[in-house]
Amino acid sequence: DVKVTQSSRYLVKRTGEKVFLECVQDMDHENMFWYRQDPGLGLRLIYFSYDVKMKEKGDIPEGYSVSREKKERFSLILESASTNQTSMYLCASSLTSLNTVGYTFGSGTRLTVV
């Protein structure tokens, strides 16, 4: 089975800190995604990447950046954390061309910015 591993389950950071959320997948998937999930707002796409060093903005990229230096790893960066970035962050991966394989999600990182 594909595994998507997020490095931290819980994080507490201070306002203004630079925060790195790491995600690693082990099945050679081309696509990787970062979502945030908030009560009443559902899942919202922050950024995705369809190849190494490639990235595309999702629906809510403001305040975030990403890095994909290796195929298996996709990092989400909060350049200067703010309290409104307190949320559950979910990483996912998928294959590009096949509709026979769905998305696989990590366990999530609950980030609290104080």
Partner 1 sequence: KQEVTQIPAALSVPEGENLVLNCSFTDSAIYNLQWFRQDPGKGLTSLLLIQSSQREQTSGRLNASLDKSSGRSTLYIAASQPGDSATYLCAVRASNYQLIWGAGTKLIIKP
**102 forms part of the interface with partner 1 (CB under 8 A):** yes
The SS3 of residue 84 is helix
113 vs 17: CA distance, rounded Å: 9
Q: Does 56 bind partner 1 (CB under 8 A)?
A: yes
The binder of partner 1 chosen from 34, 48, 64, 74 (CB under 8 A): 48
CA pair distance 87, 5, nearest whole angstrom: 18
Distant-in-sequence, close-in-space partners of 36: CB < 8 Å, separation ≥ 6: 43, 44, 46, 60, 87, 88, 89, 90
Considering the rule CB under 8 A, would residue 34 count as an interface residue with partner 1?
A: no
Query: Which of 110, 111, 112, 113: binder of partner 1 (CB under 8 A)?
Result: 110
Residues numbered 77-96 forming contacts with partner 1, rule: CB under 8 A: 88, 90, 92, 96
Query: Does 39 help bind partner 1 (rule: CB under 8 A)?
Result: no
Tell me if residue 14 falls in helix, strand or coil: coil
Q: Is 101 in the site for partner 1 (CB under 8 A)?
A: yes
Binder of partner 1 out of 23, 108, 111, 113 (CB under 8 A): 108
Can you tell me the distance from the alpha carbon of 31 to that of 54, in angstroms, rounded to the nearest whole number?
A: 10
Residues at the interface with partner 1 (CB under 8 A): 6, 31, 42-43, 45, 48, 50, 56, 88, 90, 92, 96-97, 99-108, 110
